[in-house]
Structure 1
Amino acid sequence: MTPGDRRTRWRRVGRVTAILAGILLGLPFLVLAGAAVATLVITSQIEARYPPAGRRVAVPGGHLAVIEAGPGEGAASRGTVVLLHGASANAMDPMQAIGRRLAGDGFRVLSFDRPGFGWSDRIEGAAAASPAVQARLIAAGLGALGVGPALVVGHSWSGALAATLALDAPERVAGLVLLAPATHPWPGGTVPGYAGWYRSVFGRTLLWIAARTVAAPFGLYALDRFAAVVFKPDPMPPGYADAARVPLVLRPSTFEANLQDLDGLYEFLARQRPRYPQIAAPTVIIAGDADPIVRTPVHAEAMARDVPGARLVVLPGTGHMLHYTASDAVVAEVEALAARVRAGAE
């Protein structure tokens, strides 16, 4: 082989190597581009399947979506119950679990999409991750609807929100029912290294990309598995994810809002905990002793000690989604508190 042949051969090898390197380097971008297109399609299909189920209420900075059931405004009722959903959910979750039943029993029921969830605007952007901001917006929504004081029922993340509402807008709250509530800073705080990584420019950029590419396709594939984990040790009701409109959380903007809400909760609870003795509204706290998500001794039992006169109900063998798996007990406690509030008013 002549030197010229060798040079020609190496040039060919170089060209092939460059082509292969280009393909390998470009493949991740092609995958992300495909995932981004899939996310747009999935988001469109989710919004078409789960359109707004109620009305939008104007508040400073935007609108909150609310689902209503039971006697209408001005009609005779046993009282007004406001439902506030937890993380990764929307207004339909508590409405399906206990709201329809309470409405059938004569209560006016209002279930809000929290800011950034369901069909509510993410008013104030990332600042809306604070339960204090969300409480102010929910209070404004109740004011726009002419509601208050009402029984406020908060599940999980919204245990903090409902408590904040009772502290910051007590004129809107006649009584509190906290279901498996997240109310106190937990041992160990956030996962080591997670908060710092997420809050870095790199972390936020990576999660922004993930929310718009792989999160929706992967989340849709694994949705039932994730939901089943939240119900443990109880079984998940058949058709739960569809009936509760859970896929709405997979939309990029809602996915980001959910992460922001979870990321900032620990620090907020550490600041708010000393205020709980100031809660004046009659309070009932219901939790399961088998809850693997929000530990009852850390949150519910501590809240019962901190809030004057609070009633604690611990359900044996029950997990985190007790408004579904122990709905009889939850409805009975809501109705008992309503009767207690009415008696006190009279």
Structure 2
Amino acid sequence: MRRRVRAADGRHLMVERLGDPRGRPIFLMHGTPGSRLGPAPRGMVLYQRGMQLIAFDRPGYGGSDRLEGRSVADVAQDVVAIADALGLDRFAVAGRSGGAPHALACAALLPDRVTRAAALVPLAPWNADGLDWFEGMAPSNVEAYTIAANDPAGVAARFIPRADAIRANPVQLLDDLRRELTASDRMVVSDSGLRTMLLRNYQEGLSDSAYGWIDDAVAFAAPWGFDPADIRVPVLLWHGEQDVFSPVGHARWLGERIPGATVVLEPTAAHFDSLHALPRSLTWLLAD
């Protein structure tokens, strides 16, 4: 079920509700770039597990209005607006890649509403004390985040032409990434069904503009607006140790800071292996 929800400041958010409408709710935060049409188990699987997923386009992506200058923390109030519109009091949150910091924001800032949180292949905060933020990171991401931190306008100059090319031919994004993909990631994205889903996801996310992508990058390379150490709900961190897009050191750092976090590190896995870990993570979220 698809619907538009009005945020507290009047912006519109495009929301997709998947699975059993009477099932236990989980908010699913998409990656960067991405959209509400991102990776998720099939509807029949969700019905069998008695769960519903609520996915939405972050501001500036797909059908959601832009929120210029947003921080990672700003996602919490959008989640509250959607939950209230859908009549959901308590819910779990999950996020993969660029969605992971946003899931952690909800866990930190909405302790009375979030039951559990899962963050797959997460980034750590830009100002993470004691972390070499770029260690093990692919050169393209090092360059993009360095520009985002020092020259936000430069991110727009870099991403707008890329988004235009991806909108015309979404295969372009995977082709751009291919030279930096590990062998494990290449195997994952070579699956035709998964590849088709990823391409639809990217095309939808960038269908109107590049500003969701731009604003994500700038938000990740700035203060997040919350401290992961303040999280008090149960948290699962999953990471592939071969990840070059969000290196495993980020999950290790978060695991040391978030009280009682469950940390799962897969030695042979990389970034896109998180797609296979997602169903298990969703089951963990409803373990209580």
**Short-chain TM bin:** 0.7 to 0.9
**Mapping for residues 140-289 of structure 1, pairs under 5 Å:** 140-185=81-126, 187=132, 191=143, 194-195=147-148, 198-199=151-152, 203=154, 206=157, 210=161, 216-217=167-168, 220=170, 222-226=172-176, 228=178, 232=182, 233-234=184-185, 235=187, 236=189, 237-244=191-198, 245=200, 246-251=202-207, 253=209, 255-269=210-224, 272=226, 275-289=227-241
Q: Are positions 1:86 and 2:41 aligned together? A: no
Q: How far apart, CA to CA, are the structure 2 residues paired with 1:164 and 1:93?
A: 20
Q: How far apart, CA to CA, are the structure 2 residues paired with 1:100 and 1:286?
A: 25
Which structure has more RCO (C-alpha within 8 Å, separation ≥ 6)? 2
Q: Are positions 1:127 and 2:38 aligned together? A: no
In the alignment, which residue of structure 2 is the partner of 1:66? Answer: 15
Q: How far apart, CA to CA, are the structure 2 residues paired with 1:85 and 1:196?
A: 22
Q: How far apart, CA to CA, are the structure 2 residues paired with 1:134 and 1:225?
A: 30
Q: How far apart, CA to CA, are the structure 2 residues paired with 1:70 and 1:214?
A: 33
Q: How far apart, CA to CA, are the structure 1 residues paired with 2:258 and 2:231?
A: 6
CA-CA distance at 1:221 after TM superposition:
5.9
Cα 1:323/1:230, change in 2 over 3 Å = farther
Cα 1:133/1:99, change in 2 over 3 Å = farther
More helix, by proportion: 1
Q: How far apart, CA to CA, are the structure 2 residues paired with 1:133 and 1:89?
A: 18
Q: How far apart, CA to CA, are the structure 2 residues paired with 1:231 and 1:148?
A: 40
CA-CA distance at 1:224 after TM superposition:
3.3
Larger Rg: 1
Q: Are positions 1:307 and 2:258 aligned together? A: yes
**Offset from partner CA, 1:94-141 (integer Å, 9 cap, x none):** 32x57763343211221122112122222x3x223x112222212221
**Offset from partner CA, 1:226-284 (integer Å, 9 cap, x none):** 3656863322021435324222244452x132022112312224x64xx2222111111
CA-CA distance at 1:92 after TM superposition:
1.5
Structure 2: which 5+ runs fail to align?
A: 135-141
Q: How far apart, CA to CA, are the structure 2 residues paired with 1:284 and 1:208?
A: 31
In the alignment, which residue of structure 2 is the partner of 1:292? Answer: 244
Q: Is this contact kept in 1: 2:2–2:17, CA < 8 A?
A: yes
In the alignment, which residue of structure 2 is the partner of 1:41? Answer: none
CA-CA distance at 1:70 after TM superposition:
2.0
Normalised by the length of structure 2, the TM-score is 0.80
Q: How far apart, CA to CA, are the structure 2 residues paired with 1:152 and 1:99?
A: 18
- What is the letter of the counterpart of residue 288 of structure 1? G
Q: How far apart, CA to CA, are the structure 2 residues paired with 1:195 and 1:282?
A: 31
- What is the letter of the counterpart of residue 29 of structure 2? L
CA-CA distance at 1:296 after TM superposition:
0.9
**Partner secondary structure for residue 116 of structure 1:** coil
Instruction: Work out the number of aligned pairs and report it.
Output: 269
Q: Is this contact kept in 2: 1:211–1:252, CA < 8 A?
A: no
Q: How far apart, CA to CA, are the structure 2 residues paired with 1:120 and 1:173?
A: 23
Cα 1:318/1:207, change in 2 over 3 Å = closer
Cα 1:315/1:193, change in 2 over 3 Å = closer
**Mapping for residues 101-140 of structure 1, pairs under 5 Å:** 101-122=45-66, 124=67, 126-128=68-70, 130-140=71-81
User: 111-120 or 226-235: which moved more?
Assistant: 226-235
In the alignment, which residue of structure 1 is the partner of 2:5? Answer: 57
